[in-house]
Amino acid sequence: MARLLVATVPLTGHVHPMLVLVRALVTRGHEVRWYAAAKFAPAIAAAGATYLPMRAHDWDDADVEAALPALRGRRGLARVKAQLREMFIAPMADQLRDLQAIAAGWMPDAIVADQAHLGAAAFAELAGVPWAGLGISALVIPSVDTAPFGPGWRPARGVLGRLRARLQHAVVRAMFRDVTRAYRAARQAIGLPAGRGTYFDVLSPQLFLQPTVEAFEYPRRDLPPQVRFIGPLVAGVPAAQALPAWWSELEDAHRRGTPIVLVTQGTLATDARELVAPALRALATEPVFVVATIATTIDGPVPANARVAAFVPYQALLPMVAVLVTNGGYGGVQMALAAGVPVVVAGGSEEKPEIAARVAWSGVGVDLRTGRPSAGRVRAAVRRVLADARYRTRARAMAAAMAACDAPTLGATHVEDLVERARLAGSR
């Protein structure tokens, strides 16, 4: 049995895949203590882990601007940079102090943390504790075969493509120079050398679990050997599910052969005007049944062929869905592909343009190349995916590759191997 310290930043999309991995680790007999935001304490306890509170930077991602005023009014590149500084870089020193206090009374055999948790990365570096990173989005790792992460540029091809990618990397490094300065200053403030790396270079040197299959990621000749593709960490179907009152209407529509279109904006970017509202307008006169999930209210009447809810159990819904229309949250896209559902992505914030680009590159859907599409563009994309069987075929092939992976077991096995390697090295 190993003692495992888990750490996640206060974002739902970072916690949910970790819950799946932690359940597997607990089932295999390991003692797991999890340092996280208070809103996730019940889910952590239900997974069998011991919840450890954050003493600072504990905010609710349902309204990040209330907790992080520096994000207010910012869009595009300015917002991305503010998110990197406020969400991930600024908390590093306090996260480190909390983890060091935990380890003073309970030294873990390894730390397992989401890739954005800089405090965990610093703790592993300072304490010499084995570190397993968990990817929570598309691979950020720089490569000679890819453009820089962020804008959603496609991979380089040929000599000219690689030369263009080198120029793009230089441009992006310059664009994020202030973020890099903040990251290096934060390292120095906790007693680490500033180094020559950037926020985007943070990677466990021992083990990094990427919760997808290789077919969804760009090929990289220089992929670090510690990266392991394990398949999506998707929760199983709950034993009991609260279904909306209109669920029978949905099932009737599915039995009649009416295409079911799911529209969602995930858990972070929840302004319905960006995607849900234009999608409802776009599909109002189409021969489809629309299910839209959004935590906020919708202005105006809901079309007759649509139903709106704050929550719908995706595990029960996705087998009936013909197309997912999404703003590109990584977890939602992986869940859809695991069910063989093709995707239309309107990704305009955070790292979502990168996820949208991979959807188009892998042939499993359409990239609208904007986070605020017009109703006409959404309508055309949905029609295209429904009419062209190649999208469904590629999505089903992706689902087959994912089904061949037992992600929780693979992830847990890799963590156990990491601990065992450390023990063997320590006994020499």
pLDDT at 265 over 90: no
Q: What are 103-137's pLDDT values in tens digits?
A: 999 999 999 999 999 999 999 999 999 999 999 99
**C-alpha span between 298 and 278 (Å, rounded):** 11
- Specify if 241 maps to a domain: no
Q: What are 27-69's pLDDT values in tens digits?
A: 999 999 999 999 999 999 999 999 999 998 999 988 888 889 9
- pLDDT more than 70, % of the chain: 97
Report residue 154's pLDDT band, with 50, 70 and 90 as the boundaries. Answer: confident
According to DSSP, residue 352 is labeled: H
Q: Count how many Cα atoms sit within 13 Å of the Cα of residue 62 in the half-sphere of its side chain.
A: 8
Report residue 8's pLDDT band, with 50, 70 and 90 as the boundaries. Answer: very high
254 with 358, same domain? yes
Domain that holds residue 164: 3-233+405-427
- Give the pLDDT confidence score for residue 26 in this predicted structure: 98
Q: Is 210 exposed, middle or buried (0-12, 13-18, 19+ CB in 10 A)?
A: buried
- Specify if 85 maps to a domain: yes
Report residue 268's pLDDT band, with 50, 70 and 90 as the boundaries. Answer: low
Average pLDDT, the chain: 92
Global pTM? 0.92
46 with 80, same domain? yes
Report residue 262's pLDDT band, with 50, 70 and 90 as the boundaries. Answer: very high
- Specify if 174 maps to a domain: yes
**C-alpha span between 48 and 30 (Å, rounded):** 10
Q: What are 214-251's pLDDT values in tens digits?
A: 999 999 999 999 999 999 998 765 556 778 999 999 99
203 with 260, same domain? no
pLDDT at 93 over 90: yes
pLDDT at 428 over 70: no
168 with 21, same domain? yes
170 with 201, same domain? yes
Report residue 417's pLDDT band, with 50, 70 and 90 as the boundaries. Answer: very high
- Specify if 240 maps to a domain: no
Longest dimension (CA), the chain: 70
pLDDT at 335 over 70: yes
Location of structure tokens 């009737």: 252
Token representation of residue 307: 């139903």
Helix (H, G, I), strand (E, B) or coil at 407: helix
- Give the pLDDT confidence score for residue 237 in this predicted structure: 57
**C-alpha span between 49 and 41 (Å, rounded):** 9
- Give the pLDDT confidence score for residue 147 in this predicted structure: 87
**C-alpha span between 384 and 282 (Å, rounded):** 13
pLDDT at 339 over 80: yes
- CATH code of the domain covering residue 283: 3.40.50.2000
176 with 31, same domain? yes
81 with 208, same domain? yes
367 with 422, same domain? no
- Give the pLDDT confidence score for residue 239 in this predicted structure: 54
179 with 99, same domain? yes
Q: Residue 11: name the closest of 84, 108, 111, 99 by CA.
A: 84
Helix (H, G, I), strand (E, B) or coil at 105: helix
Q: What are 20-37's pLDDT values in tens digits?
A: 999 999 999 999 999 999
- Specify if 415 maps to a domain: yes
Beta strands in 218-361 (DSSP E): 227-229, 260-264, 289-293, 306-309, 321-326, 343-345
Residues 330-334 have a mean pLDDT of 93
Location of structure tokens 């069987």: 389
- Specify if 239 maps to a domain: no
Q: Would you say 123 and 94 are in contact if contact means Cβ atoms under 8 Å apart?
A: no
Q: Is 338 exposed, middle or buried (0-12, 13-18, 19+ CB in 10 A)?
A: buried
- Specify if 325 maps to a domain: yes
- Give the pLDDT confidence score for residue 155 in this predicted structure: 85
- Give the pLDDT confidence score for residue 351 in this predicted structure: 84
Residue 293 pairs in a beta bridge with 264, 309
399 with 265, same domain? yes
35 with 20, same domain? yes
Q: Residue 11: name the closest of 67, 50, 51 by CA.
A: 67
Q: How many domains does the chain have?
A: 2
Q: Would you say 110 and 422 are in contact if contact means Cβ atoms under 8 Å apart?
A: yes
Token representation of residue 189: 């403030």
177 with 192, same domain? yes
**C-alpha span between 347 and 231 (Å, rounded):** 22
- Specify if 356 maps to a domain: yes
